[in-house]
Chains A and B, each alone.
Chain A
Protein backbone atom coordinates (compact mmCIF):
# COMPACT_ATOMS: atom_id res chain seq x y z
CA UNK A 1 0.00 0.00 0.00
CA UNK A 2 1.60 3.31 -1.04
CA UNK A 3 2.37 5.87 1.62
CA UNK A 4 -0.03 8.45 0.23
CA UNK A 5 -2.82 6.14 1.34
CA UNK A 6 -1.85 6.41 4.96
CA UNK A 7 -4.76 8.67 5.76
CA UNK A 8 -8.20 7.18 5.48
CA UNK A 9 -11.45 8.01 7.10
CA UNK A 10 -14.15 5.50 7.88
CA UNK A 11 -16.31 6.35 4.92
CA UNK A 12 -16.56 10.03 5.44
CA UNK A 13 -16.47 11.17 9.05
CA UNK A 14 -15.07 14.70 8.78
CA UNK A 15 -16.53 17.58 10.78
CA UNK A 16 -18.78 18.35 7.79
CA UNK A 17 -20.27 14.88 7.73
CA UNK A 18 -23.89 14.98 8.91
CA UNK A 19 -23.59 11.42 10.18
CA UNK A 20 -20.59 12.20 12.34
CA UNK A 21 -21.01 12.25 16.12
CA UNK A 22 -19.33 14.92 18.22
CA UNK A 23 -16.33 13.05 19.55
CA UNK A 24 -13.12 14.65 20.70
CA UNK A 25 -9.90 13.69 22.40
CA UNK A 26 -8.80 15.46 25.57
CA UNK A 27 -6.88 17.86 23.32
CA UNK A 28 -10.15 18.70 21.54
CA UNK A 29 -9.14 16.98 18.35
CA UNK A 30 -12.28 16.10 16.42
CA UNK A 31 -12.02 12.38 15.91
CA UNK A 32 -13.22 11.49 12.39
CA UNK A 33 -16.03 9.01 12.82
CA UNK A 34 -19.33 7.81 11.43
CA UNK A 35 -21.81 5.20 12.63
CA UNK A 36 -22.04 2.40 10.08
CA UNK A 37 -25.05 0.69 8.55
CA UNK A 38 -26.08 -2.33 10.58
CA UNK A 39 -25.61 -5.75 9.05
CA UNK A 40 -28.45 -8.23 9.02
CA UNK A 41 -28.83 -10.73 11.88
CA UNK A 42 -28.24 -13.61 9.45
CA UNK A 43 -24.93 -12.11 8.32
CA UNK A 44 -23.85 -11.49 11.89
CA UNK A 45 -24.64 -15.06 12.89
CA UNK A 46 -22.70 -16.38 9.91
CA UNK A 47 -19.73 -14.14 10.66
CA UNK A 48 -19.66 -15.37 14.26
CA UNK A 49 -19.82 -19.02 13.14
CA UNK A 50 -16.96 -18.45 10.68
CA UNK A 51 -14.70 -16.75 13.22
CA UNK A 52 -15.60 -19.24 15.95
CA UNK A 53 -14.34 -22.08 13.76
CA UNK A 54 -10.87 -20.52 13.64
CA UNK A 55 -10.76 -18.97 17.09
CA UNK A 56 -11.76 -21.46 19.73
CA UNK A 57 -11.76 -19.02 22.64
CA UNK A 58 -14.14 -16.62 20.90
CA UNK A 59 -17.29 -15.93 22.92
CA UNK A 60 -20.04 -13.69 21.62
CA UNK A 61 -21.05 -10.58 23.52
CA UNK A 62 -23.07 -8.69 20.91
CA UNK A 63 -24.05 -8.82 17.26
CA UNK A 64 -24.19 -5.08 16.72
CA UNK A 65 -22.23 -3.69 13.80
CA UNK A 66 -22.66 0.09 13.82
CA UNK A 67 -19.29 0.57 15.55
CA UNK A 68 -15.85 -0.94 15.16
CA UNK A 69 -13.11 -1.77 17.63
CA UNK A 70 -11.99 1.83 18.13
CA UNK A 71 -15.62 2.90 18.41
CA UNK A 72 -16.10 0.36 21.18
CA UNK A 73 -13.13 1.57 23.20
CA UNK A 74 -13.25 5.32 22.52
CA UNK A 75 -16.75 5.98 21.16
CA UNK A 76 -18.92 4.15 23.70
CA UNK A 77 -20.13 1.73 21.01
CA UNK A 78 -21.85 4.56 19.14
CA UNK A 79 -19.70 5.03 16.07
CA UNK A 80 -16.82 3.77 13.94
CA UNK A 81 -13.37 5.34 14.02
CA UNK A 82 -10.45 4.41 11.78
CA UNK A 83 -7.88 2.22 13.49
CA UNK A 84 -5.18 4.44 11.95
CA UNK A 85 -6.30 7.20 14.35
CA UNK A 86 -5.72 5.20 17.49
CA UNK A 87 -2.14 6.36 18.11
CA UNK A 88 -3.24 9.99 17.87
CA UNK A 89 -6.02 9.27 20.37
CA UNK A 90 -3.53 7.57 22.70
CA UNK A 91 -1.22 10.57 22.51
CA UNK A 92 -3.96 13.14 23.07
CA UNK A 93 -5.55 11.23 25.93
CA UNK A 94 -2.31 10.54 27.78
CA UNK A 95 -2.08 6.81 27.23
CA UNK A 96 1.26 5.10 27.75
CA UNK A 97 2.50 1.67 26.86
CA UNK A 98 3.01 -0.65 29.83
CA UNK A 99 4.44 -4.11 30.40
CA UNK A 100 2.26 -7.18 30.70
CA UNK A 101 3.04 -7.35 34.42
CA UNK A 102 1.68 -3.87 34.99
CA UNK A 103 -1.53 -4.52 33.06
CA UNK A 104 -4.88 -4.24 34.82
CA UNK A 105 -8.37 -5.08 33.74
CA UNK A 106 -9.72 -2.14 31.73
CA UNK A 107 -6.44 -1.29 30.04
CA UNK A 108 -6.40 -1.13 26.25
CA UNK A 109 -4.79 -3.83 24.12
CA UNK A 110 -3.36 -2.69 20.79
CA UNK A 111 -2.76 -5.17 17.98
CA UNK A 112 -0.40 -4.22 15.18
CA UNK A 113 0.58 -5.68 11.86
CA UNK A 114 3.89 -4.94 10.16
CA UNK A 115 2.17 -1.93 8.65
CA UNK A 116 0.78 -0.39 11.84
CA UNK A 117 -2.24 -0.55 14.12
CA UNK A 118 -4.88 -3.08 13.12
CA UNK A 119 -7.13 -3.65 16.12
CA UNK A 120 -7.83 -2.57 19.70
CA UNK A 121 -9.71 -4.12 22.57
CA UNK A 122 -10.23 -3.79 26.30
CA UNK A 123 -8.36 -6.11 28.64
CA UNK A 124 -11.33 -7.86 30.21
CA UNK A 125 -9.60 -10.30 32.51
CA UNK A 126 -5.91 -10.22 33.24
CA UNK A 127 -5.98 -13.91 34.05
CA UNK A 128 -9.12 -15.75 33.10
CA UNK A 129 -9.85 -18.33 35.81
CA UNK A 130 -10.71 -20.99 33.26
CA UNK A 131 -8.33 -20.27 30.40
CA UNK A 132 -5.46 -19.12 32.65
CA UNK A 133 -4.57 -16.47 30.09
CA UNK A 134 -5.61 -12.84 29.58
CA UNK A 135 -8.99 -12.30 27.93
CA UNK A 136 -9.85 -9.30 25.78
CA UNK A 137 -13.20 -7.80 24.79
CA UNK A 138 -13.20 -6.30 21.31
CA UNK A 139 -15.34 -5.56 18.27
CA UNK A 140 -14.11 -7.37 15.18
CA UNK A 141 -14.69 -4.80 12.49
CA UNK A 142 -18.34 -5.09 11.53
CA UNK A 143 -18.54 -8.75 12.54
CA UNK A 144 -19.59 -8.44 16.18
CA UNK A 145 -18.26 -7.98 19.68
CA UNK A 146 -16.40 -10.88 21.20
CA UNK A 147 -14.49 -12.02 24.27
CA UNK A 148 -11.34 -13.86 23.23
CA UNK A 149 -7.95 -14.93 24.51
CA UNK A 150 -5.45 -12.13 24.00
CA UNK A 151 -3.58 -13.96 21.24
CA UNK A 152 -6.57 -15.65 19.64
CA UNK A 153 -7.03 -13.13 16.83
CA UNK A 154 -6.33 -12.93 13.10
CA UNK A 155 -2.73 -13.97 12.38
CA UNK A 156 -1.78 -10.60 10.94
CA UNK A 157 -2.86 -8.71 14.05
CA UNK A 158 -0.49 -10.68 16.25
CA UNK A 159 2.70 -9.14 14.84
CA UNK A 160 2.90 -6.89 17.91
CA UNK A 161 0.56 -6.88 20.88
CA UNK A 162 0.97 -4.10 23.42
CA UNK A 163 -0.98 -2.88 26.41
CA UNK A 164 -1.76 0.77 26.96
CA UNK A 165 -3.19 2.61 29.94
CA UNK A 166 -4.20 6.10 31.00
CA UNK A 167 -4.21 5.07 34.70
CA UNK A 168 -2.72 7.48 37.17
CA UNK A 169 -1.77 6.18 40.59
CA UNK A 170 -0.50 8.56 43.25
CA UNK A 171 1.99 6.98 45.65
Chain B
Protein backbone atom coordinates (compact mmCIF):
# COMPACT_ATOMS: atom_id res chain seq x y z
CA UNK B 1 0.00 0.00 0.00
CA UNK B 2 2.99 2.29 0.33
CA UNK B 3 2.85 3.04 -3.40
CA UNK B 4 -0.78 4.05 -3.05
CA UNK B 5 0.01 6.38 -0.18
CA UNK B 6 2.96 7.82 -2.07
CA UNK B 7 0.80 8.40 -5.15
CA UNK B 8 -1.94 10.11 -3.13
CA UNK B 9 0.60 12.38 -1.45
CA UNK B 10 2.49 13.07 -4.68
CA UNK B 11 2.77 16.47 -6.33
CA UNK B 12 1.24 14.92 -9.46
CA UNK B 13 -2.03 14.10 -7.71
CA UNK B 14 -2.04 17.54 -6.12
CA UNK B 15 -1.43 19.24 -9.48
CA UNK B 16 -4.09 17.27 -11.35
CA UNK B 17 -6.76 17.87 -8.75
CA UNK B 18 -5.78 21.50 -8.23
CA UNK B 19 -6.01 22.23 -11.96
CA UNK B 20 -9.80 22.07 -11.68
CA UNK B 21 -11.89 25.18 -11.20
CA UNK B 22 -14.58 24.35 -8.70
CA UNK B 23 -15.16 22.22 -5.67
CA UNK B 24 -17.40 19.97 -7.72
CA UNK B 25 -14.75 19.44 -10.40
CA UNK B 26 -12.06 18.78 -7.78
CA UNK B 27 -14.32 16.31 -6.05
CA UNK B 28 -14.95 14.48 -9.33
CA UNK B 29 -11.21 14.29 -9.96
CA UNK B 30 -10.67 12.99 -6.44
CA UNK B 31 -13.41 10.42 -6.91
CA UNK B 32 -11.91 9.12 -10.15
CA UNK B 33 -8.26 9.15 -9.07
CA UNK B 34 -6.94 5.57 -9.47
CA UNK B 35 -4.90 5.65 -6.24
CA UNK B 36 -7.83 6.97 -4.22
CA UNK B 37 -10.08 4.28 -5.68
CA UNK B 38 -7.49 1.65 -4.81
CA UNK B 39 -7.34 2.93 -1.24
CA UNK B 40 -11.14 2.84 -0.98
CA UNK B 41 -11.17 -0.77 -2.20
CA UNK B 42 -8.43 -1.74 0.23
CA UNK B 43 -10.30 -0.16 3.14
CA UNK B 44 -13.56 -1.81 2.12
CA UNK B 45 -11.89 -5.19 1.70
CA UNK B 46 -10.13 -4.96 5.03
CA UNK B 47 -6.69 -5.13 3.42
CA UNK B 48 -5.78 -2.02 5.30
CA UNK B 49 -6.99 -0.72 8.62
CA UNK B 50 -8.38 2.82 8.88
CA UNK B 51 -5.88 3.48 11.67
CA UNK B 52 -3.04 3.33 9.14
CA UNK B 53 -4.75 6.01 7.07
CA UNK B 54 -5.45 8.07 10.18
CA UNK B 55 -1.82 7.82 11.10
CA UNK B 56 -0.80 9.11 7.65
CA UNK B 57 -3.30 11.92 8.05
CA UNK B 58 -1.90 12.75 11.47
CA UNK B 59 1.62 13.02 10.09
CA UNK B 60 0.49 15.28 7.27
CA UNK B 61 -1.68 17.44 9.52
CA UNK B 62 1.11 18.03 12.02
CA UNK B 63 3.72 19.04 9.46
CA UNK B 64 5.18 22.50 9.84
CA UNK B 65 3.88 24.77 7.13
CA UNK B 66 4.59 28.23 5.80
CA UNK B 67 1.56 30.18 6.97
CA UNK B 68 1.65 32.48 3.96
CA UNK B 69 0.57 29.63 1.72
CA UNK B 70 -2.00 26.91 1.37
CA UNK B 71 -1.14 23.75 3.25
CA UNK B 72 0.78 21.54 0.78
CA UNK B 73 -0.89 18.44 2.27
CA UNK B 74 -4.41 19.73 1.65
CA UNK B 75 -5.15 17.53 -1.35
CA UNK B 76 -3.74 14.39 0.30
CA UNK B 77 -5.74 15.04 3.48
CA UNK B 78 -8.85 15.53 1.36
CA UNK B 79 -8.17 12.25 -0.46
CA UNK B 80 -7.75 10.29 2.79
CA UNK B 81 -10.82 11.88 4.30
CA UNK B 82 -12.85 11.03 1.22
CA UNK B 83 -11.60 7.44 1.21
CA UNK B 84 -12.53 6.94 4.86
CA UNK B 85 -15.92 8.58 4.35
CA UNK B 86 -16.72 6.30 1.44
CA UNK B 87 -15.19 3.06 2.66
CA UNK B 88 -15.56 2.92 6.39
CA UNK B 89 -17.24 5.44 8.55
CA UNK B 90 -16.08 3.95 11.80
CA UNK B 91 -13.14 6.32 11.93
CA UNK B 92 -14.79 9.25 10.22
CA UNK B 93 -15.13 11.40 13.31
CA UNK B 94 -11.44 11.09 14.06
CA UNK B 95 -10.52 11.65 10.42
CA UNK B 96 -12.50 14.91 10.41
CA UNK B 97 -10.84 16.01 13.63
CA UNK B 98 -7.40 15.31 12.23
CA UNK B 99 -8.17 17.10 8.95
CA UNK B 100 -9.28 20.17 10.88
CA UNK B 101 -6.04 20.28 12.85
CA UNK B 102 -4.16 21.07 9.65
CA UNK B 103 -4.00 24.81 9.09
CA UNK B 104 -4.39 26.70 5.82
CA UNK B 105 -6.34 23.93 4.15
CA UNK B 106 -9.19 24.48 1.76
CA UNK B 107 -10.30 21.32 -0.04
CA UNK B 108 -10.15 19.08 3.02
CA UNK B 109 -12.17 21.62 5.06
CA UNK B 110 -14.84 21.68 2.37
CA UNK B 111 -15.09 17.89 2.55
CA UNK B 112 -15.39 18.03 6.34
CA UNK B 113 -18.14 20.61 5.84
CA UNK B 114 -19.88 18.21 3.51
CA UNK B 115 -19.67 15.42 6.04
CA UNK B 116 -20.88 17.59 8.90
CA UNK B 117 -23.62 19.10 6.75
CA UNK B 118 -24.99 15.64 6.19
CA UNK B 119 -24.89 14.94 9.86
CA UNK B 120 -26.15 18.17 11.35
CA UNK B 121 -29.23 19.77 9.85
CA UNK B 122 -29.08 22.82 12.04
CA UNK B 123 -25.54 23.66 11.09
CA UNK B 124 -25.69 26.96 9.22
CA UNK B 125 -22.86 27.52 6.81
CA UNK B 126 -21.97 27.00 3.22
CA UNK B 127 -22.30 23.35 4.07
CA UNK B 128 -25.71 23.66 2.49
CA UNK B 129 -24.07 23.83 -0.91
CA UNK B 130 -21.94 20.78 -0.52
CA UNK B 131 -22.95 17.40 0.74
CA UNK B 132 -21.45 14.04 0.15
CA UNK B 133 -23.58 12.02 -2.26
CA UNK B 134 -26.34 9.98 -0.59
CA UNK B 135 -24.60 6.72 -1.35
CA UNK B 136 -21.82 7.90 0.92
CA UNK B 137 -24.31 9.00 3.55
CA UNK B 138 -23.34 8.62 7.14
CA UNK B 139 -24.27 5.48 8.97
CA UNK B 140 -26.56 6.15 11.91
CA UNK B 141 -24.71 6.90 15.10
CA UNK B 142 -21.33 7.72 13.59
CA UNK B 143 -21.22 11.02 15.42
CA UNK B 144 -23.60 10.11 18.22
CA UNK B 145 -22.74 11.92 21.41
CA UNK B 146 -19.89 13.84 19.84
CA UNK B 147 -19.51 17.56 20.33
CA UNK B 148 -18.33 17.95 16.80
CA UNK B 149 -20.04 21.11 15.60
CA UNK B 150 -18.56 23.16 18.44
CA UNK B 151 -15.10 21.91 17.66
CA UNK B 152 -15.59 22.66 14.02
CA UNK B 153 -16.78 26.19 14.70
CA UNK B 154 -13.83 26.75 17.00
CA UNK B 155 -11.49 25.82 14.24
CA UNK B 156 -12.83 27.78 11.34
CA UNK B 157 -14.85 30.49 13.11
CA UNK B 158 -17.77 30.75 10.74
CA UNK B 159 -19.97 33.75 11.55
CA UNK B 160 -23.45 32.88 12.72
CA UNK B 161 -24.96 34.76 9.79
CA UNK B 162 -23.31 32.51 7.27
CA UNK B 163 -26.49 30.93 6.10
CA UNK B 164 -27.46 32.97 3.12
CA UNK B 165 -27.61 31.18 -0.17
CA UNK B 166 -26.18 33.02 -3.13
CA UNK B 167 -28.82 34.66 -5.27
CA UNK B 168 -29.46 32.71 -8.38
CA UNK B 169 -31.40 35.22 -10.38
CA UNK B 170 -30.82 38.82 -11.26
CA UNK B 171 -34.25 39.90 -10.06
CA UNK B 172 -33.44 38.89 -6.49
CA UNK B 173 -30.66 41.41 -6.34
CA UNK B 174 -32.84 44.44 -6.70
CA UNK B 175 -33.51 44.33 -2.97
CA UNK B 176 -29.82 44.64 -2.09
Contacts and interface: CB of A to CB of B under 8 A. Distances in A.
User: Which secondary structure dominates chain A's binding surface?
Assistant: loop
A2 B23 contact: no
Contact of B25 (A18, A24, A32, A83): A83
Contacts of A37: 69-70, 104, 106
Contacts of B174: 28
B129 to A, nearest CB: 5
A82 B21 CA distance: 6
Contacts of B22: 8, 10, 68, 82-84
A47 B15 contact: yes
A51 B170 contact: no
A5 interface: yes
Nearest to A53: B12
B140 interface: no
A9 interface: yes
Contacts of A141: 18-21, 26
B146 interface: no
A111 to B, nearest CB: 10
A16 B106 contact: no
Contacts of A39: 18, 69-70, 72
A4 B114 CA distance: 13
Nearest to B165: A14
Which residue, B21, B134, B169, has most C-beta atoms of chain A within 10 A? B21
Contacts of B110: 11
B130 A68 contact: no
Contacts of B133: 1-2, 5
Contacts of A47: 11, 14-15, 18-19
A50 interface: yes
B19 A30 contact: no
A95 B163 CA distance: 31
Interface string A118-143: 11100000000000000000011111
B33 to A, nearest CB: 13
Interface string B57-69: 0000000001011
Interface of B: 11-12, 14-16, 18-28, 31, 66, 68-70, 72, 104, 106, 110, 125-126, 129-131, 133-134, 159, 161-170, 173-174, 176
23 contacts: A2-B134, A5-B27, A5-B131, A14-B126, A14-B165, A16-B159, A16-B162, A24-B173, A28-B170, A30-B166, A38-B69, A38-B70, A40-B68, A40-B69, A43-B11, A46-B11, A47-B15, A69-B21, A82-B24, A84-B22, A92-B170, A141-B26, A142-B18
Given A37-B70, A43-B69, 12 more contacts: A1-B27, A1-B28, A8-B130, A28-B170, A39-B70, A47-B19, A50-B12, A51-B19, A82-B23, A84-B22, A115-B28, A141-B19
Closest A-B pairs by Cβ, 7 of them: A27-B170, A82-B22, A141-B19, A37-B70, A47-B15, A83-B21, A40-B69
